[in-house]
Amino acid sequence: MIHIDQIGYAPSKPKFFLSAKEADHFTVVDLATDQPVYTGTLSGPKEDVASGDTVYRGDFSSLRDPGSYKIKLSSGETSSPFTIASDVHQSAADAMLKAFYFQRCGCDLEPEHAGPYAHKACHLSDGVLYDDPTTTLPSAGGWHDAGDYGKYTVAAAKAVADLLLAYDLFPASFAHPIGIPESGSGMPDLLSEVRYELDWLQRMQQRDGAVFHKLTTRHFPPLNTMPEDDLGELVFSPVSYTATATFSAVMAMAARIYEPFDAAFAAACLKLAKLSFDWLTTHESYPSFTNPVGISTGEYGDRQSIDEAFWASAELYRTTREVTYHDALRKLASVKGFSLLSLGWADVGGYGTVAYLLSGRAGADDALYEDLLAAWVQEAQRIEACCQEDGYSVSLLPEQYIWGSMMVLMNQAMHLILADHFTGQEVFATRALDHLHYLFGRNPLGQSYVSGFGERPLMHPHHRPSVADGIDAPVPGLVSGGPNRNLQDPKAKETRSGQPPARCFIDHEDSYATNEITIYWNSPAVFVAAYAVSASQ
């Protein structure tokens, strides 16, 4: 097999493929003319620990002419077709963003925007409070979190943060419509789509500033259930410290980013962010969230909450420059035992660090700023060093092929892109593009982990609408969780036991541990693709 990005490469960026077989030479063939346009030799071999592969590398970076091509080895193998173009990843970036529209809850998805994936509005009833079923609250709106129909505050916060950061740093990548109901409104489509989620998140806040942890039915519906047919009672699970803190953080982000487009909405977001932060200051010992009795949907529990408070204080500081938030973040940053670099849904300290570094040196605590910048760069150097050792030029260690490994992959690519932004060291961003190429097929399985893109795209995600809608192909732009060495579902165990970590994947609807989708696996992929589009122009 020839392992290549099945979408393609930008003209000015590095281009290489990998082969499990040695060959004397390779040629790049123009699909339009069926003529060779480049000839080269392969380097290697190189051992890849995560997959068990021995790979050879063919570099064709000097080929810059736009067009459609394929690789032919002298030993006879032929690659998937691919494209060289300055906008080569734009369509994928658009689809991965529009995937959030297809996750919308509480509204009709009309054929005009959803095409064959149109369906009626779902989950329109009010939800009951877990500890007071006589009290009901409006619950419609927002995005379904994953392959199920739950809506979870901490998961939503990561997705919103990634998308708003993508817009903040690469607005030109989102300057055109993607075909959602709000297209043409004067607000970029990314911000319109995120606002749909922010409006729902605001319904999750109580009057005192505390935020409900999640809104779900009591149990997951069967896999072949369309959203409008999921009629179980909706329940607001109790508030949590982590939900309140991450809510405060993303509302502070929204206040800053939406202000040029809707000043009233931005002001409302800031008011809510401050209210939740005030609640945090008087509930520092609030117990961590666990699923209430009788609720079996996703827990999203987290026993460490200092990172969430650090993120909230950093975002509020960046937005307001108020000393109260600066003092809070400096105090929290000095606490040991949590990561200041992580970009997950549970470990969010990295978002606080990014907010502080993006605030700039003016008014900053010089020592803290330098410490955070040095730590960010040091981690980027570690990630880059892992790429040098890896046969497929990515940073995933064997033990990082876990549930949602493609999120880990994209998070680390985000880290590299941000390191390039802070330092101007382009090697970091170049390595980030290698991660994107892995996502779209330059990986041991030759699998594009994104639906609708590549010769071997994701086809059978663990995603209820994709199973129930009767359409062969899933919504385009969905990012799979990817290889998971822990094989926590029966289908993965049955088919992938004994395989190396990078091969522990099956494109099957029953494999929730390797092939589910979530909004916070899509969101870092949108960020990385937005960078790729921006950097290739």
Active site residues: 148, 462, 507, 516
- Cα atoms found within 13 Å of the Cα of residue 94, Cβ hemisphere only: 15
Give φ, ψ of 177 to 5 degrees.
Answer: -75, 150
| 425, 413 contact by CB (below 8 A) | no
| 92, 38 contact by CB (below 8 A) | no
Cα–Cα distance measured from residue 311 to residue 364, given in angstroms and rounded to the nearest whole number: 16
Cα–Cα distance measured from residue 406 to residue 439, given in angstroms and rounded to the nearest whole number: 7
Q: Which two structure tokens, joined as six digits, stand for 42?
A: 């392969």
Q: Which two structure tokens, joined as six digits, stand for 355?
A: 């907010």
Which residue is it, tokens 């392969």?
42
Give φ, ψ of 390 to 5 degrees.
Answer: -80, 140
In terms of Cα–Cα distance, which of 478, 463, 465, 453 is closest to 117?
465
Q: Is 111 exposed, middle or buried (0-12, 13-18, 19+ CB in 10 A)?
A: exposed
User: How would you classify the pairing of strands 234-236 and 127-129?
Assistant: parallel
Which residue is it, tokens 């980030």?
432
In terms of Cα–Cα distance, which of 66, 63, 73, 94 is closest to 26?
73
| 60, 39 contact by CB (below 8 A) | no
Helices 153-169 and 90-102 pack at an angle, to 10 degrees, of 150
Cα–Cα distance measured from residue 407 to residue 429, given in angstroms and rounded to the nearest whole number: 17
Coil, strand, or helix at residue 45? strand
| 451, 461 contact by CB (below 8 A) | yes
| 450, 525 contact by CB (below 8 A) | yes
- Cα atoms found within 13 Å of the Cα of residue 485, Cβ hemisphere only: 12
What separation, in Å, do the N-terminal and C-terminal C-alpha atoms of the chain show?
Answer: 31
